[in-house]
Amino acid sequence: MEFQKTPGWLDWYAVPSAPTFRVPAGSVDAHCHVFGPGAEFPYAPERKYTPCDASKAQLFALRDRLGFARNVVVQATCHGADNRAMVDALVNSNGKARGVATVRRAVTDDELRAMHAAGVRGVRFNFVKRLVDFTPRDELMEIAARIAPLGWHVVIYFEAVDLPELWDFFTALPTTIVVDHMGRPDASKPVDGPEFELFVRFMREYPNVWSKVSCPERLSVSGPKALDGEPGLEHGAYRDVIPFARRIVETFPDRVLWGTDWPHPNLKDHMPDDGLLVDFIPHIATTPELQRKLLVDNPMRLYWPEEN
Ligand code: 0GY
């Protein structure tokens, strides 16, 4: 089946720059996706976008180029609740990938057990309105109750302005919770303003809440270029996101994860160089100890606990 990608869709870097920052041995890229290929794993009819294909082999090549050891492959909304592409990546990774699925109420216990055997360790609940249709909260709570006995966690994706309304639902979830991209703060607002304070309070009051400190390219208002117009970290790329991510890393060093977000769906202005994203890490985790926790200890504890 031929799929035409969404008009204006930006392709990922075929050959990202080799990062200058060397990630610690055993590092995990804890947020990335596979897209199709559509001819083999068709995109979901209910999808809100059609991406360019991004295969497991291309993901594993990126992993090796950036110096990572493992991946956590997160089900993307363009595949709906059809987890075959993600599961195929896991079972062909030689144990180097674990996954996060999207399931509906109709999922059977046998299907959940089969996904567990393949390496799935969580489900994702997405509340970003441009990406998904509404799912009733009682269905999500029912799913959370069913995956909890497997030792899985719930990944939540939402916009910062929606946290107050979602608070009661999130704080009633019975599992570990992992927030995508720090709950998408508005980086043009102060890091100690009421909106981000609420997110910090969420993590402080609920020790089962973790956060990915990923996606500066998605959150940044200042963007990949500095005032002098030059791209690159030495010129201050994504500098407005640094205080947000540093605050979370330094306040909750044992509950943070990092991921590339490759192949970077739905970016409109620019496509990040994945090597540059890796070079961003020491700006948000400024010591070797924080870097080891962020990239190795925390993701290993969550996704490969049997190796601890
Ligand atoms: C991300 C972010 C986005 C998309 C998805 O599953 C998805 O389609 O997560 C987005 O558009 O912000 O983490 O990949």
Q: Which two tokens stand for residue 25?
A: 């041995």
pLDDT per residue of the chain (308 residues) written in tens, 0 to 9: 689 999 999 999 999 999 999 999 999 999 999 999 999 999 999 999 999 999 999 999 999 999 999 999 999 999 999 999 999 999 999 999 999 999 999 999 999 999 999 999 999 999 999 999 999 999 999 999 999 999 999 999 999 999 999 999 999 999 999 999 999 999 999 999 999 999 999 999 999 999 999 999 999 998 887 666 665 665 578 999 999 999 999 999 999 999 999 999 999 889 999 999 999 999 999 999 999 999 999 999 999 999 97
What CA–CA distance (Å, rounded) separates 251 from 228? Answer: 32
Check: CB of residue 247 under 8 Å from CB of residue 285: no
71 Rama sector, left if φ>0, alpha if ψ -120 to 50, beta otherwise: beta
* Distance of CA 183 from the midpoint of ligand 1 (Å): 12
Intra-chain end-to-end CA distance of the chain, in Å:
43
Task: For 244-266, give the DSSP string.
Answer: HHHHHHHHSTTSEE----TT-TT
Mutate to test the pocket of ligand 1, among 159, 219, 266 (most ligand atoms within 8 A of CB): 266
Question: Can you say whether the dihedral through the CA atoms of 13, 179, 79, 88 is positive or negative?
Answer: positive
Q: How far is the CA of 73 from the centre of ligand 1 (A)?
A: 12
CATH top-level class of 28-307? alpha beta
Domain residue spans in the chain?
Answer: 28-307
Please work out whether the CB of residue 261 comes within 6 Å of at least one atom of ligand 1.
Answer: yes
Q: Return the ligand 1 atom nearest residue 130 CA.
A: 11
Instruction: Give the C-alpha separation, 51 to 61, whole Å.
Output: 19
Is residue 11 part of the annotated active site? The answer reads: no
| CA 308 to ligand 1 centroid distance, Å | 30
Residue type, 122: G
Minimum-distance ligand 1 atom for the alpha carbon of 78: 8
CB 132 less than 6 A from any atom of ligand 1:
no
Please return the burial class of 97, using the count of CB atoms within 10 Å of its CB with bins 0-12, 13-18 and 19+: buried
Q: Where are the alpha helices (DSSP H) in the chain?
A: 56-66, 84-91, 109-118, 137-147, 163-171, 194-205, 216-219, 242-251, 274-284, 288-292, 298-303
